[in-house]
A and B are shown apart, each in its own frame.
Chain A
Amino acid sequence: MSELVKAAWRYRGFVRSSIVNEFKSRLSRSKFGAAWIVLHPLAQALIFATILSSVLAARLQGIENKYGYAAYLMAGFLCWNLFVEIVQRCLTVFIDQASLLKKMHFPRITLPLVVIGSALVSSVALLVVIMAIFPILGLYPSIAWIWLPVLLLLTVAFAAGLGLLLGTLNVFVRDIGQVMVVVLQFWFWVTPIVYPVSIIPEHFKTTLAFNPMAPLVGAYHDVMIFGRPPSNNLWITVAATLVLLSASLVVFRRASPELVDAL
């Protein structure tokens, strides 16, 4: 375990330059450049807000602002996009970098770290833009916002645990990658991101307890929209994160000797 950390620390320069290079190559020949990082999630929120606000905005209790629903969406997407980007890219990170892994000897853990780093950069950029937009919409950041760094880290840890576990297994059983495309779609809709928890029928509400993303997204809503600290449900996510992270590290270490052979 400490070897893993040491190796990652020794290659911190590589991780940093990989993240920088990734943004450079992704944005290099586009006019808007860095703006694209935040334009995508904002456009996503705008689309949902345009189409669903008349249906759902009224159901959003405890918020008077007429842009409340748009803000609700932005907070949800901030969380979900960070989660989904890490999971999706971790799923295929070893397969995508197969030739590098086969021919160069370097700490493999750096690859998921690069994924996490670049997703985190995008999310922080989005958060900064959101902080600028919210006052325009008439919503002012409250003291509860100091929870956000904790929430971002928890999201990263949960996503990384799941992503690393599935990404390692995906090298051996490639169906996982295919299945996860569908699973993530489904997961998005069973998590209260575009709709408030209040519209869920009573008998389905218990199922939310099995979805660690629900309390997490809920915490973003609590903090950013309602200006209150996260509810106690968040412990479900924390527990799931700890389980997934340790499981993924064990599997990653056990699978490591055979990882390159299966690529």
Chain B
Amino acid sequence: MNPDSLVVENLGKVYRKYASELQRCAGWFGVPAKPLAEHWVVRNVSFKVARGEAVGIIGQNGAGKSTLLKMITGTTRPSEGRAATFGQVSALLELGLGFSPELTGRENARHAAGLMGMQGSEIDCLIPRIESFAEVGNYFDQPIRTYSSGMQMRVAFSVATAVRPEVLIVDEAFAVGDAYFVHKCFQRIREFREAGTTLLMVSHDASAIQALCDRAILLDGGRLILDGLPQEVFDYYNALVAEKENSGVRTERKDGLVVTESGSGEATFEQLAVLDAQGQPVQYVEVGRPISIHARVRISGEVPRLVFGYMIRDRLGQPVYGTNTHHTGQALEGLSAGDVVDFHVRFPVNLGTGSYSVSVALSSTETHLVKNYQWKDLALIFTVANVDHPTFVGLVHIPSQIEIVHTAALRWAGR
């Protein structure tokens, strides 16, 4: 038996644009035609997935994830290289395909199972299993058009996973539906995993990939950038996203749309970083851990008074916390060219999970309106993850203790 259930070798997909579609058609019969433009969506991607392994594929929109999955599934043919799967493959790229609204859930389930290549007798055996897993009750014999979208997903997922495949390919398909059924879906995928199914999963959801996958692959611009442990790959991915976000802001500034970068420049930030307790730069920080924001400022002119301010914003740009050295009574006075000032802002990360940005400013007073040396939005970006605290929601972490007093009801003996 082959130790790998999926081998991808130098896989590539190109979309070609021709001056006329007739040239494309001529190309099928060996008539060479030069395409106007070539667009490689995926190129030089190679990896192997061992039997029973679970691999997550991450990447930004347009990184080539879907194309890669389509080539592995077989709906799209690779332009170069090969993708070989060993054993029965089941792909959940989209649920509810081929459902027709006038037919009942049962008829649609039979039809979808046929689409997956099952024979009549096989389907007969599976229908009870599908019905009980979907839990849509009497609706199973009602037309699909009377279903809510959640119920439709239930039937679709039940059919798609009625038989345990050797290789399961999942594309965030089941991220919808009610929480109960999402749990059930994950449970079924976990059962498949335990029984030896190889899993390939595309998701933006870090927690889903970390919970289910042994390994992760990062795609960017159609190329494989990193192949490693999910945590490592996600760190790198976040850095990549942060970098892109920053560069996005920079171009905006050039157009003069965002005036906040303004500053006279007598004092400028030379270095900015988020550091952990050991003084190492980090992108990913855990709830409750101490971190510090470090800013090194170089003075290049007369600065009679210098106030350093910072503000932490959530991913929507709402201020979470901010203050400055004027309010804390630490304003510096009488600086001159050549001076270097280091600011260390130390605090515990009592923030909810998610992505945060830091804006920093240098001015002469508590507001930057009087004399503004430099102001930077989105100067730093870090992501907060909850690793060892009980799960919580919201923007802030407020550690608490829940006291429970349980008074048992009086029970008669023998009952």
A residues lining the B interface (CB < 8 Å): 10-11, 13-14, 17-18, 21, 24-25, 28-29, 99-106, 169, 172-173, 251, 254-258, 260-261
A101 touches B75 (CB 8 A): yes
User: B321 interface residue, CB < 8 Å from A?
Assistant: no
**Given A21-B107, A105-B74: A28 and B102 interface contact (C-beta under 8 Å):** yes
User: B97 interface residue, CB < 8 Å from A?
Assistant: yes
30 A-B pairs within 8 Å (CB atoms) are namely A10-B117, A11-B117, A13-B119, A14-B114, A17-B111, A21-B103, A24-B102, A24-B107, A28-B143, A29-B102, A99-B94, A99-B97, A100-B98, A102-B70, A103-B70, A103-B93, A103-B94, A104-B98, A104-B115, A105-B74, A105-B75, A169-B25, A172-B24, A173-B21, A251-B25, A255-B25, A256-B77, A258-B77, A260-B75, A260-B76
- Chain A to chain B: the 7 pairs with minimum beta-carbon distance, closest first: A254-B28, A14-B114, A25-B102, A105-B74, A257-B77, A103-B93, A28-B102
User: B91 interface residue, CB < 8 Å from A?
Assistant: yes
User: B15 interface residue, CB < 8 Å from A?
Assistant: yes
Known A28-B143, A104-B93, A255-B25; 5 more pairs at CB < 8 Å: A11-B114, A25-B103, A100-B98, A104-B91, A261-B15
- By a CB distance below 8 angstroms, the chain B residues around A106 are 115-117
- By a CB distance below 8 angstroms, the chain B residues around A251 are 25, 28
B22 touches A173 (CB 8 A): yes
B residues lining the A interface (CB < 8 Å): 15, 21-22, 24-25, 28-29, 70, 73-77, 89, 91, 93-94, 97-98, 100-103, 107, 110-111, 114-120, 123, 143
- By a CB distance below 8 angstroms, the chain A residues around B22 are 173
Q: Which of B15, B107, B115 has the most CB of A within 10 A?
A: B115
Docked complex Cα distance between A103 and B117 (Å):
15
Q: Which of B15, B28, B29, B93 has the most CB of A within 10 A?
A: B28
B114 touches A13 (CB 8 A): yes
B25 touches A103 (CB 8 A): no
**Given A25-B102, A103-B93, A105-B75: A13 and B120 interface contact (C-beta under 8 Å):** yes
A21 touches B111 (CB 8 A): yes
- By a CB distance below 8 angstroms, the chain A residues around B28 are 251, 254-255, 258
Q: Which of A14, A28, A99, A169 has the most CB of B within 10 A?
A: A14
Docked complex Cα distance between A162 and B118 (Å):
31
